[in-house]
Structure 1
Amino acid sequence: MKKALIGILPIIFLLVGCFSDPVKDDLLRYVNHEMNTAFELEDTAISAYNNVSGVNYSDDETMYAALVDDVIPNYNEFIKELNYVSVETDELSEIHEIYIEGADIQYNAFVKITMALEEQDASIIEEANGMLDEAKRHLRNYRSKLNKLADEHDVEWEKE
């Protein structure tokens, strides 16, 4: 009886392994662990930018200081962190690359805004705003594809 049970256990473990979903595991690890620092850095940088842009804009000097002191350094660290993130599956890797592309475009837009403020050149601001729009499209595409992949692999996100 004991020998028969020992002979069946490897088959049971093998079958359990067949039902594993590497993409689901990768998604859960990615969102719950790998991206934590990146999400925090991005939030810090974007919050600093939002505090001095749009309806919160007060003057060029304030915006310039925020960009140079907070936005660009934090966003640069965010991009570094994105590049350190470990992704194991091709499906998630392709989606993560979209995020990196969008982040790179947004970073370059922030740098361009700084240059525009230094040179007092409105045409550079227009170019930077176009880059910010392009970055937003990338980031929306990232979120959409990430959510679609999660749906395909029965991963449910907690609502904040």
Structure 2
Amino acid sequence: MNESSGESNENKSEQKELSKKEKQKIILQFVNEKTKKVSDYEEAAFKSLSSVSGENFTNDQTLHTELVNNTLPAYKKALEEAKGITPGLSELEKPTKQMVKATEIFYEALQLEKKALEKQDSGLIEQSNVKMTEYQKLIEEYHSQMQKIAKEYNVEYTPNRS
């Protein structure tokens, strides 16, 4: 009877380990495939925006043209990808919602910037900047949440901070 109990406990342990391995696989797929697409589109949008803003700013028209032709379309794809992600695990639901919310907010910020340029309205630029700051906060929370999940399931996670 002891041997049988020992085998039963061993099988239960293997089942738990398999479950953890399956969760690891889902987490890796989430990070390496699902969110990677969002990140790739975001990166394209960020590169587009930075090519005409900050040190690279030349004039409002150039910035507006880049926003309309490249930044907004690229970021819209990021938003669509984020909204299309199915977490696959209850542990990934909160970070998924954070990512969607963050991408929605950044997209709104870009739209506000576009309107601000069209209307020459500095108030809209300020609103856009507030949303960009909110985006940064949400993304930091997302990365923090993902790092906790990665640690819990012994999965390597390196945030992509564009």
Fold equivalence (TM over 0.5) = yes
Q: For 1:92-117, what per-residue CA distance to the aligned partner results, in whole angstroms no more than 9, with x for missing partners? A: 11111101101100000100000000
Give the whole-Å Cα distance in 2 for the aligned partners of 1:17 and 1:71: 47
State the match for 1:79 in structure 2.
79
State the match for 1:103 in structure 2.
103
Q: Is the 8 A contact 1:99 1:142 kept in 2?
A: yes
State the match for 1:120 in structure 2.
120
Q: Is the 8 A contact 2:67 2:114 kept in 1?
A: yes
State the match for 1:62 in structure 2.
62
Give the whole-Å Cα distance in 1 for the aligned partners of 2:32 and 2:128: 33
Give the whole-Å Cα distance in 2 for the aligned partners of 1:146 and 1:158: 9
State the match for 2:142 in structure 1.
142
State the match for 1:41 in structure 2.
41
Q: Secondary structure at the residue paired with 1:85?
A: coil
Give the whole-Å Cα distance in 2 for the aligned partners of 1:71 and 1:159: 22
Q: Is the 8 A contact 2:45 2:72 kept in 1?
A: yes
Identify unmatched segments of 5+ residues in structure 1. 1-7
State the match for 1:16 in structure 2.
14
Q: Is the 8 A contact 1:23 1:91 kept in 2?
A: no
> Offset at 1:36?
2.8
Q: Is the 8 A contact 2:67 2:110 kept in 1?
A: yes
Q: What is the percent sequence identity of the aligned residues?
A: 25
> Offset at 1:133?
0.5
Moved over 6 A (4+): 11-14
> Offset at 1:62?
0.8
Give the whole-Å Cα distance in 2 for the aligned partners of 1:63 and 1:13: 62
State the match for 1:153 in structure 2.
153
Q: Is the 8 A contact 2:146 2:157 kept in 1?
A: no
Q: Is the 8 A contact 1:23 1:92 kept in 2?
A: no
> Offset at 1:18?
2.2
Number of residue-to-residue matches in the alignment: 152
> Offset at 1:16?
2.9
Q: Is the 8 A contact 2:113 2:124 kept in 1?
A: yes
